[in-house]
Structure 1
């Protein structure tokens, strides 16, 4: 529609439109905490001023977000938004009227039945021997029994019917006591439209509503025997809306971004040092001076202003610069830089305003993953599986829960973090029972050395057996163990096997040292080849943010193993503890 100043014409009257009946939702963009709705209205106008009154818009509509667009030979002058008043809760309904009428008739019938029973009893009681022919006594009693039985059955039926009617009346009164759905659609929009000529025009109302949200959740299916792309990730959306209007056969887009417009870059306040002039005052006096009402009022007003500005910006922020959708299996995705994406749900969807979750599949992705196993047999001999999954797709994964299936069996529930395209994340896959680990009892030996100042030498040997019962080999099995840490200069801990040493020559605890026995390893050796397919190193070496100077300080070490199918391997951890003098009692040994 044009925005030029129209010529002066008198008003031609008003056009009354009911939003749900006289329009159709042509677009829904759903964010994490609100939805943007586009409704299209088509109606005829006359030459001159037309007052268009649209009723039945959602009561939760955010008035500041309302935009009006149109097509046709007309000009939009102004838009006014208001809320309908005078609504009341209904106290009656046709169904309730019918039930009350039935109850009145049933109650009257029951009263007549009870009166008939009373009359029958009164008649029988009025009879005496002189008035009764003894030969007719049997017939009289038979008639009394038959009539009384019929009346009793009728009374029972009427009583039950009355009880059911009373229950139905209670339910109907409760139903009509609930505000009608129209109470959720009480916002009105008044639009002045000037038409250059008589004809049909189209007006689109675009507005934001809260009480609408979507969350991501996933099914992660793992094929342990697959060499390529062992992970199938099914990306799903749970959509909930209670806006007051149903979304019937609408095109739906899901936005991964969360509007944060109106938030400024944080600013650092001055950081000043000064002398405490109130050092002689009591704490209570200082406290009363620090929290003055004036300073609280200023802080509150500033925070309130920032909060209101941030909220208003979120309501008004809608991105119209949608890039061309890129088709991907099952859905389309539009990438917006590296910050967000828009998913177009295939086809048309219908979502009732019922507050219930409606689930849709966004896409099914085949992803690469690096499988690994980890066990801490000193605590638990179970081998835990972990998948390092790379999101090699164009989809931004939102944080959400995931149901994990391994080889078709449900294993566990996990959490998927927020993952950008080409980013990786870890997904625990539960316990692998086909990897059997034995943590053998520790072997201890004690000897003494020295003549005047005897020392006690404690030698420890820990054996670990790993048995891969699978029909395929496994790589990247991590076994985690530890040796003790000395906290006293009279205690020396020496690692024998595997022959790891610390990055620095003397990095033990308070006076305690850890020394390697192999002269073949340089002072900074961090990795040792123990056997074919088995490498030992300090715990943390394989972490991306590893700090070399901290390696070995906690005395934890790892074996990284490759184990062939149906094969056992043995690992050995040997260390010595020397205590001088031997009479010293060691805690924790």
Structure 2
């Protein structure tokens, strides 16, 4: 067995010694903004075979990514990628269906035209026959009456049928125009130029050989989404990791082995080089009237809007995760179909049970509501990517939020919604709030009372947040009167009360502060 690969790009044309290859997509690895497609085929070759042509490939193929491997007693001399503008290989099913409809409608229109022509010929013949008979025969009254009646009935029937055919033709024309417009849109969407990879080979024997072809295409992406489910009976949350997969490469991936990778090859794998950094005195350059340079073209792939989510059967139990040096791959064992230009396909790729601490949180200054929050632990081990997350609690939908693990260093706090069973209020203490003038200073004091009541049948852990103002001017002095047991963050002014509240119990916290500033000034923010 000989196995030689020589991959370089050249340009060639079809020849008598070229053989087309009908290959099948076996596997696809989808990165965050492109995909690598792997095809294979078995084909018979002989000494007369000089070229093997993989046809019906995506026109969005990256020629630099083409790799060809072979098994058999032959030599691969080189590869060529080219666009085939002469044929429409690998037509999508939607295009084939539209073309069939056009052919059917055009056949019906031709049939209508033939009937109209036949009716018109018959009418002209009747009129001509009437003139001939009238000129060559002396007709009696009864004969003339019968002939006139016959012509009248027949001409009327021809006119009625002609009108029906005219209406039918009008409707057929409308339908044909509509289908042709759909075909034009589909052509534009599918980019009806197919790609071809030409493999130059050399062999001295007739044999059956195996070829593997791989290449990278643009127009494909996947992005993560999450379903988070929590119940009050467990100190854990279930996280379902899903992938929305889309591709518009022009080729259908049917029942393929799918791998999802967190790698982004378009960023590049080379570390930028640090160049010498020179300083010099500024010298104004003489004015030159130069045309503005065009803006750099963005290489970012623009994702197609999702029209409708297609939720596939969960395949998380059939997904194998592997970690590389710079990425994570999710290899799905079950076959998956992703059609070109179709709807996003949602695949469940992973399920995790995450330890969490359930507690209540509230900021009554902003909202007198109490929220149940799940504080997750050890989330870093999940290697999550940013994405939308749907939150469910006790089987009910709570909200949709955005998960950004990169911005959370200490832990992920996930809101599970408002709990009406815990009440909170924040009111100013009127008799302890006053405004005084002392010399050239104005002194204003504020005091508030926060009350929390647990109406649930079990004890709860709760955190309550408020704040003290911060001064940006040395003439504005801020002092604390009381903190009511709160922990104060000196940098941010945040006040935090953390405590356990037993069933039916109520807790009150009072805090206050004072502000001093020159009496002839006005302070913003109070």
Whether the TM-score (by the shorter chain) exceeds 0.5 is yes
C-alpha change, 1:287 and 1:101, in structure 2 (3 Å) is same
Does the 8 A contact of 1:461 with 1:574 survive in 2?
A: yes
TM-score by length of 1: 0.67
C-alpha change, 1:569 and 1:183, in structure 2 (3 Å) is same
Q: Which string of whole-angstrom CA distances, capped at 9 and with x for unpartnered residues, describes residues 68-119 of structure 1?
A: 1111222222222222244599999643541331230343477589999999
Q: What is the CA–CA distance in structure 1 between the aligned matches of 2:274 and 2:513, rounded to whole Å? A: 55
What SS class does the counterpart of residue 105 from structure 1 fall into? helix
Tell me the CA shift for residue 348 of structure 1.
Answer: 0.6
Confirm or deny that 1:17 pairs with 2:26: no
Q: Return the index of the structure with the highest Cα Rg.
A: 1
Aligned to 1:558: 496
Confirm or deny that 1:263 pairs with 2:270: yes
Does the 8 A contact of 1:45 with 1:201 survive in 2?
A: yes
Q: Which one of 103, 107, 114 corresponds to residue 116 of structure 2?
A: 107
Tell me the CA shift for residue 394 of structure 1.
Answer: 6.0
What SS class does the counterpart of residue 334 from structure 2 fall into? coil
Q: Which string of whole-angstrom CA distances, capped at 9 and with x for unpartnered residues, describes residues 403-457 of structure 1?
A: 122222222211122569998433344433333211123314559899xx69877
C-alpha change, 1:404 and 1:287, in structure 2 (3 Å) is farther
Q: What is the CA–CA distance in structure 1 between the aligned matches of 2:354 and 2:220, rounded to whole Å? A: 31
Does the 8 A contact of 1:50 with 1:192 survive in 2?
A: yes
Tell me the CA shift for residue 459 of structure 1.
Answer: 4.9
Q: What is the CA–CA distance in structure 2 between the aligned matches of 1:258 and 1:441, rounded to whole Å? A: 55
Does the 8 A contact of 2:105 with 2:172 survive in 1?
A: no
TM-score by length of 2: 0.74
Confirm or deny that 1:227 pairs with 2:165: no
What SS class does the counterpart of residue 343 from structure 2 fall into? coil
Does the 8 A contact of 2:364 with 2:426 survive in 1?
A: yes
Confirm or deny that 1:218 pairs with 2:218: no
- Structure with bigger RCO (C-alpha 8 Å, 6+ apart): 2
Tell me the CA shift for residue 257 of structure 1.
Answer: 1.3
Aligned to 1:329: 317
What SS class does the counterpart of residue 192 from structure 2 fall into? helix
Does the 8 A contact of 2:52 with 2:200 survive in 1?
A: yes
Aligned to 1:425: 412
Aligned to 2:84: 84
Matches within 5 A, 1:446-465: 446=434, 459-465=445-451
What SS class does the counterpart of residue 160 from structure 1 fall into? helix
Aligned to 1:543: none
Confirm or deny that 1:537 pairs with 2:523: no
Matches within 5 A, 1:136-155: 154=161
Does the 8 A contact of 1:398 with 1:418 survive in 2?
A: yes
Q: What is the CA–CA distance in structure 2 between the aligned matches of 1:158 and 1:447, rounded to whole Å? A: 93
What SS class does the counterpart of residue 572 from structure 1 fall into? strand
Tell me the CA shift for residue 160 of structure 1.
Answer: 3.1
> What root-mean-square deviation, in Å, do the aligned CA atoms of Structure 1 and Structure 2 show?
4.7
Q: What is the CA–CA distance in structure 2 between the aligned matches of 1:189 and 1:410, rounded to whole Å? A: 54
C-alpha change, 1:241 and 1:449, in structure 2 (3 Å) is closer
Tell me the CA shift for residue 363 of structure 1.
Answer: 1.7
C-alpha change, 1:46 and 1:562, in structure 2 (3 Å) is same
Q: Which one of 496, 509, 515 corresponds to residue 571 of structure 1?
A: 509
Does the 8 A contact of 1:419 with 1:425 survive in 2?
A: no
What SS class does the counterpart of residue 206 from structure 1 fall into? strand
C-alpha change, 1:394 and 1:573, in structure 2 (3 Å) is closer
Q: Which string of whole-angstrom CA distances, capped at 9 and with x for unpartnered residues, describes residues 494-540 of structure 1?
A: 423227xxxxxxxxxxxxxxxxxxxxxxxxxxxxxx3xxxxx1113x
Q: Which one of 151, 154, 158 corresponds to residue 165 of structure 2?
A: 158
Q: What is the CA–CA distance in structure 1 between the aligned matches of 2:238 and 2:365, rounded to whole Å? A: 34
Matches within 5 A, 1:110-125: none
Confirm or deny that 1:240 pairs with 2:190: no
Q: What is the CA–CA distance in structure 1 between the aligned matches of 2:423 and 2:116, rounded to whole Å? A: 78
Unaligned runs of at least 5 residues, structure 2: 6-14, 90-94, 129-139, 302-314
Aligned to 2:64: 64
Q: What is the CA–CA distance in structure 2 between the aligned matches of 1:335 and 1:348, rounded to whole Å? A: 22
Does the 8 A contact of 1:371 with 1:476 survive in 2?
A: no
Does the 8 A contact of 2:226 with 2:388 survive in 1?
A: yes
Unaligned runs of at least 5 residues, structure 1: 6-11, 120-130, 279-285, 312-326, 500-529, 531-535, 540-550
Q: Which one of 345, 369, 372 corresponds to residue 332 of structure 2?
A: 345
Q: What is the CA–CA distance in structure 2 between the aligned matches of 1:117 and 1:566, rounded to whole Å? A: 103
Indicate the larger mover: 91-100 or 366-375: 91-100
Matches within 5 A, 1:365-514: 365-390=352-377, 395-418=382-405, 424-445=411-432, 446=434, 459-482=445-468, 485=471, 487=473, 493-498=478-483
Q: What is the CA–CA distance in structure 2 between the aligned matches of 1:579 and 1:420, rounded to whole Å? A: 38
Tell me the CA shift for residue 375 of structure 1.
Answer: 2.7
Aligned residues: 476
C-alpha change, 1:493 and 1:116, in structure 2 (3 Å) is farther
